[in-house]
Amino acid sequence: MKAVDQAEEACRLLGQELARAGCDLAVYSSKSTYIEWHVVHGYAQACTSDAPGRVAAHPARHQDVDFALPEGSCVTLDLIRDTTGEWEVSYYRTLLECDGVLLVGGGQSTRIAGIIAISQHIPVVPVATFGGGAGQVWVNLDKVRNDADDDDIALMGDDWRPGSASRLVACLLAQRRRRQEAQEQARREARSGARRLKSGLTAAVLCLLGSLGLLVGAGGPGPASAQRLAALVAAPLLAAVGGALIRHTFETGSGWLQAAVRGLGAGVVSVLLYCASQLLALPDLLDHIDVRRLLFFTVPLGFSAGFTFDLVFERMRAGAVPVTPAGADPLASPAQTPSADPGSPPRS
């Protein structure tokens, strides 16, 4: 401990500033050797009938609390006795319910309380000028910071002087405000992410339904008209976009619109290369084409390309292009056509 002769008055001033800030107090003992005694008495001095205060005492079940406050004090003392017989259990348990922790002096239990507050991201102000466990917590806080900034760390380690109490309480409240702002920002981002996810999944369902609708509505065999070619290209591309959007639900860091564009690109490349390979094998394919039969393969192909767009682009960079061997049946199932790459799955 250091500057012990100033500590009692400093605790009274801190209690007054906490009362003026409208804070409630959580305390654990009314022994005059602990800082609670002096903080509560300073707190009671600053409370008025217009701005009363509340002190919540959390003793163990066999302990009593009596701060001997003067008659007419505008402070309500709520005794919340813990079922445990050990004061440490009640002490550490209550820390998790506090909006801020003020530490002055103390020993090992004070240091542990500070570490708990830091680890749980609870605003904490260790008054390091008086040494003890609070001084050690100040060193620990400097390495973590949480919601404290450089000015806060410097203030906590500064010598005690007039106005220190008000600045320290303001520092504690500023940390709490930053914490609340960060939590609110996280909630807004979570709500925004949920809305984006919902929009993306809705778009994925619509794309898949659209591709299936084109498959069902495709006409019978015939010459390659604009309508048949549009259905042949649009259905797998819609499936590719749907696959990319579904893939996006497992990822973070990008919007569903970017995922849809990547899936569309992968679908265009895969579907057009497939169609090109069929035209190379059967040049007269467009003279008599059965779009519906082809869509039963190209729609799953487009979905797979969109869902695995990163693999599609990687194969393109590596120069691996799906090509159907000459003479192969363009309507044959993937298992009936030999693969160009022994390590890759069969494809038409």
Q: For residues 18 and 43, is the Cβ–Cβ distance under 8 A?
A: yes
Arithmetic mean of pLDDT over the chain: 85
Whether 278 shows a pLDDT value over 50: the answer reads: yes
Fold classification of 4-185 is Rossmann fold (3.40.50)
* Alpha helices, H only, the chain: 4-20, 35-46, 87-95, 108-119, 132-144, 150-156, 164-217, 226-248, 256-281, 291-307, 309-318
- Residue showing tokens 């569309």: 264
* Alpha helices, H only, 21-107: 35-46, 87-95
- pLDDT at residue 339, as a whole number: 43
Whether 285 shows a pLDDT value over 50: the answer reads: yes
Interval 47-64 mean pLDDT: 90
Whether 173 shows a pLDDT value over 90: the answer reads: yes
- pLDDT at residue 268, as a whole number: 87
Domains in the chain: boundaries: 4-185, 192-336
pLDDT band for position 317 (cuts 50, 70, 90): low
pLDDT band for position 55 (cuts 50, 70, 90): very high
Q: For residues 244 and 260, is the Cβ–Cβ distance under 8 A?
A: yes
User: Mind listing the pLDDT tens digit for each residue in 3-27?
Assistant: 888 999 999 999 999 999 999 999 9
- Intra-chain end-to-end CA distance of the chain, in Å: 81
Whether 236 shows a pLDDT value over 50: the answer reads: yes
Whether 107 shows a pLDDT value over 70: the answer reads: yes
Which has the higher per-residue pLDDT, 258 or 132?
A: 132
- pLDDT at residue 313, as a whole number: 66
User: Mind listing the pLDDT tens digit for each residue in 116-147?
Assistant: 999 999 999 999 999 999 999 999 999 998 99
Cα distance between residue 34 and residue 277, in whole Å: 85
Q: Chain centroid to CA 292: how far?
A: 46
Interval 196-218 mean pLDDT: 88
Whether 157 shows a pLDDT value over 90: the answer reads: yes
- pLDDT at residue 346, as a whole number: 41
Q: Which of 64-73, 166-175, 214-223 has the lowest mean pLDDT?
A: 214-223
Which has the higher per-residue pLDDT, 310 or 336?
A: 310
Interval 204-221 mean pLDDT: 88
Cα distance between residue 156 and residue 128, in whole Å: 6
pLDDT band for position 168 (cuts 50, 70, 90): very high
pLDDT band for position 247 (cuts 50, 70, 90): confident
Considering just the CA atoms, what is the radius of gyration of the chain in Å? 35
- pLDDT at residue 89, as a whole number: 84
Interval 314-327 mean pLDDT: 56
Token reading at 339: 């693969």
Dihedral of the alpha carbons of 126, 128, 134, 136, in degrees to the nearest 10: 120
- pLDDT at residue 253, as a whole number: 59
pLDDT band for position 310 (cuts 50, 70, 90): confident
**What sign results for the dihedral spanned by CA atoms 229, 234, 237, 239?**
negative
Residue 48 identity: T
Whether 338 shows a pLDDT value over 90: the answer reads: no
- Residue showing tokens 């797998």: 236
Whether 325 shows a pLDDT value over 70: the answer reads: no
User: Mind listing the pLDDT tens digit for each residue in 66-87?
Assistant: 999 988 899 999 999 888 778 8
